[in-house]
Amino acid sequence: MRYLRRNPSLVVGIVLLSALALFVIVGHFTVDTSKSRPLSAPAVRAPSAEHPFGTDRQGRDLFATMVAGTPLTLRIGFIAGFLGVGIGAILGFVSAYYRGTVDAIIRGIVDIGLTVPGLLVLIIIAVSLRRGLTVDQMAIIVASLAWLNPARTIRAQVLSLRERGYVEVARLSGMSGPEIIFKELMPNVLPYLAATLVNSVSSAILASVGLEVLGLGPIDSPTLGMTLYWVNFNAALINGWWWWWAAPIVIILVVFLGLFFLTVGLDEIANPRLRRAI
Amino acid sequence: MRADYLARRFAVFVLIVWLAATLNFFLPRLSGQDPVRATLLQQAQLGGYVQSGLEAMVKEYEHRFGLDKPLWVQYVTYLGDVSRFNFNYSISNYPRTVNEIIAEAIPWTVGLLGTTTLLSFAIGTLLGALLAWPGAPRWMRLLMPPLWALHAIPFFLLGLILMYVFAFRVQLLPMFGGYSAGAFPALTLAFAGDVLAHAILPALSIVLVATGGWALGMRGMMVTTMGEDYVTFAEAKGLMRLTIFLRYCVRNAILPQTTALALALGNILSGAVLVEVIFGFPGVGTILFHAIRENDHFLIQGIVFTVIVALGVATLILDVLYPLLDPRISYRGA
Amino acid sequence: MLSVRDLVVHYDTPLGRVKAADRISFSLRAGERLGFAGESGSGKSTMALAILRMIKPPGRIEAGEVRLDGQNLMTLNDEDMRRVRLAGIALIPQGSMNALNPVMRVKEQIIDALRDHGVRLSGRERDVRVRELLQSVGLRADVADMFPHELSGGMKQRACIAIGISLRPRVIIADEPTSALDVVVQKQVMETLARVQENLGASVILVGHDMGLMAQFVDRLGIMYAGKLIEVSPVREIFTRPLHPYTRMLIASLPSLEEKGTFRGIPGLLPLLRDLPPGCAFHPRCPHTVDRCRTEVPTLREVRPDGSAACHLV
């Protein structure tokens, strides 16, 4: 408990994300999520007792939309984030441990991949696969690039660990490559891995929201990004329908801030030098 | 040694360009769609054309665009076209060429992106350095939390908020576009002012968010650098605080910071694209958005390719400048 | 020339308060070479930094005074203390792996010290001065234009010595100057150090853990244990007639070229500095402990001419 006081970021992050989770869970019990489909409610109503978040132009109850959409957006983020870190971690470990040509190839691909602006490649992919994207397909698309950054960071981390004595000792005592990776290197990279994971999820959500705002997302789903797309499409800002864009913006803010504080908090655990450096 | 480093960086650049072109070529064809046919069909349906004449028209277009040739022939032709920056006509804005449209939009994007990136990098780095330095004024610590919180959110989100507050509520700044409707682009002061007014909100959305990131990063680098032996020795030498700050700490911390800049260019661009879309700023982002809406494959490909190449060039420039900053690099092989 | 009285340095860590240096007192005479030896963590480097008032938070100089030619350095303001560094007392750092700024040429790192201490020289005079300094430590003139990564370990160490003597200090503190070097280079560096010291007429404090090095270089030797100075004697006497039990066991553990035998260490472990035993810090490992050792902390006092020890049994 005392540690939590020294690491306020972690606390803030957990609080924010828990609040979001609570919102979604409670929301699921209080409202009928089918109301997130168009034509379930009178159009363009300001918030009232009946529709706490108001309704949009296509007749969606926005409260239901947020409750249904938030987990969808988060799901894309989690799937893509986990896949990204999973693949990235394996490649990072292999690359850093075995060095040589394997390292050169993987590193080359990662370096080039990271130079290219991810969103644009995702746009090309999404545009090509136009036919009715589902939420899970979005996740896969985002994941296709999400592994690059984790691969790089984990490779760097493992490289620095690899030089430490205990790896040499393990090798001399006859442990095989994969054994060393799992038993010696992995536990030391774990806190770092957690921070990378949260980072990856955050980037994935950003990428998916970006694609959706451009209109390239799953067009029937009430995800947060798609809601913003409709906001833009219907010029809700100019028309003064503030409730329509306020809700998704606030939720997205909470998501990103929550993940950010969580990352900072995890970073502090992984890297003690950053503790209260001020 | 130097030449070796340069040659390698250039080779990577060429590789990136080739990769971008190839991806651009193959990905759309993955889904088995024929871009021309699909678009024509779409337009035809809107216009109510009769089906029979349509097939003939599609065939003619395919022949014109070379889509009836075998795949590898198309690929080679494509590579040839691309290296001459010939991106064909824009399907949605026919008869304008893709080149024309992109050429119009690029100055806006370069202007917006260039200034905001430089500004936020400079201010953020300086701020970050000061934040890490124990001798800096106390009030600067207060800047940390807002910058911190801000940098976690995407550019376009702040853009939406700013747009609402300043353009809608308070009506202080224009909401949309690069210049007022009806104003003719000219080299007058009035027009410049108009452009500036329109550019402030998009620029702010980028700068306010990005600065925090750079500041945090620099602060981290500074903390690491300040713990190094050579800083301790510098102090033992009785050097003045300013000397230690600038020539021992900042000068070293700026190296990884610059590397971070080169890596972040892609992300900054992606974020800026969305900002342009939100504000209808007539840069590359907005025309990309319209191209997606209209399913204008040639335009989309042209934009994506141009942007990737531009980014490759920017990264190459930074890579070439880096050895000037870090004397250790030009001597190392890897 | 330099007198240190009751210097106390604390570190406040999350796990407790650590007494890194506990009431260190000694005097350094003009032209003398004084060594400080001890295991890692015995407080040697802390003491060196404390003399220069370079202890950073969470460390703090709690008490004590350091007088250079009568002037108490602890009472100086920051700017005056800055001027004393390098010009009055110069530090030659350990592990010169990383003591030089990697992005500055060697000559720039010599010049910035001169400049910040108010030495005004024309461009040509500067180059001459730099060349002279480099020559005095046995480095070629073209080293001036090199970057640190282009130098070998020995060259870097000598460059640091050159910087250290550039303002003709009265006291030189050398903190493990040869720890990362091979024996041949070690000899060169120590010879360089001896030579420059004689030229300057300065006093040297040599901090380290290499007893052989100490035997060859210093006039007097102080032994440190758990943050305390437990013995100070002329170096010959340390080796032939050690006073403190720890010193005795230390000398006994040194392998000799003449005899063959089994290795003898000192049983037990160093105490944690934040959890020191009551009374004499060495008593848990000392074979001669009596009751008094467990309760009363011994103070450093002169036991024979020029030989002091902190032990109840001498």
How close, in Å, is residue A29 to chain B by CA atoms? 29
* Mean pLDDT taken over chain A: 80
Do the chains contact at A117 and B266, CB–CB below 8 Å? yes
pLDDT band at C93 (very low <50, low <70, confident <90, very high): confident
Q: Which residues of chain B does A145 touch, with a Cβ-Cβ cutoff of 8 Å?
A: none
Whether the predicted pLDDT of C26 surpasses 80 = yes
Q: Which residues of chain B does A112 touch, with a Cβ-Cβ cutoff of 8 Å?
A: 12, 15-16, 19
C193 belongs to a structural domain: yes
Whether omega for the bond prior to residue C58 falls within 30 degrees of 0, making it cis, is: yes
Whether the predicted pLDDT of C204 surpasses 90 = yes
Do the chains contact at C113 and B252, CB–CB below 8 Å? no
How close, in Å, is residue B263 to chain A by CA atoms? 6
What CA–CA distance (Å, rounded) separates B85 from A173? 59
Give B52 or C19, the one with higher predicted confidence. C19
Which amino acid, A56?
Answer: D
Distance of CA C16 to the CA centre of its chain: 26
Q: What end-to-end distance do the CA atoms of chain B give, in Å?
A: 11
C133 belongs to a structural domain: yes
How many distinct structural domains can be found in chain C? 1
What CA–CA distance (Å, rounded) separates C169 from C202? 7
Q: Shortest CB distance from C99 goes to which of B233, B325, B331?
A: B233
Task: Give the highest mean pLDDT range of B27-36, B80-89, C22-31.
Answer: C22-31
Q: How many Cα atoms are found within 13 Å in the side-chain-facing hemisphere of A200?
A: 32
C157 belongs to a structural domain: yes
Do the chains contact at C116 and B331, CB–CB below 8 Å? no
Which of B233, B242, B245, B326 to mutate to probe the C interface, most C CBs <10 Å? B233
Question: Cβ distance A217 to A223 under 8 Å?
Answer: yes
What CA–CA distance (Å, rounded) separates B310 from B314? 6
Do the chains contact at C101 and B248, CB–CB below 8 Å? yes
pLDDT band at B35 (very low <50, low <70, confident <90, very high): low
What CA–CA distance (Å, rounded) separates C15 from C35? 32
Closest residue in A to B220 (Cα) is A274
C227 belongs to a structural domain: no
| Structural tokens at position A16 | 């924010």
Which of B92, B156, B162, B219 to mutate to probe the A interface, most A CBs <10 Å? B156
3-state secondary structure B34-100: CHHHHHHHHHHHHHCCCHHHHHHHHHHHHHHCCCCCCHHHHHHHHHHHHHCCCCCECCCCCCCEHHH
C211 belongs to a structural domain: yes
**CA distances from residue B76 to B83, B87, B297 in whole angstroms, order as listed:** 11, 14, 19
The mean pLDDT of C104-110, rounded to a whole number, is: 92
Do the chains contact at C86 and B237, CB–CB below 8 Å? yes
CATH number for the domain spanning C61: value is: 3.40.50.300
C274 belongs to a structural domain: no
User: Does B94 contact C at CB distance below 8 Å?
Assistant: no
C278 belongs to a structural domain: no
- Residues C108-133 pLDDT 10s: 999 999 999 988 888 899 999 999 99
User: Does B228 contact C at CB distance below 8 Å?
Assistant: yes
The mean pLDDT of B35-45, rounded to a whole number, is: 64
Neighbouring chains to A with at least 3 Cβ pairs closer than 8 Å: B
Which domain, by its residues, includes C131?
Answer: 2-218
Q: Shortest CB distance from B311 goes to which of A115, A261, A273?
A: A115
Using alpha carbons only, how large is chain C's radius of gyration in Å? 20
Whether the predicted pLDDT of B50 surpasses 60 = no
C252 belongs to a structural domain: no
The mean pLDDT of C153-174, rounded to a whole number, is: 90
Q: Shortest CB distance from B153 goes to which of A125, A253, A261?
A: A253
pTM of the model: 0.82
Do the chains contact at B164 and A111, CB–CB below 8 Å? no
Note the ipTM here: 0.88
The DSSP letter of residue B248 is I
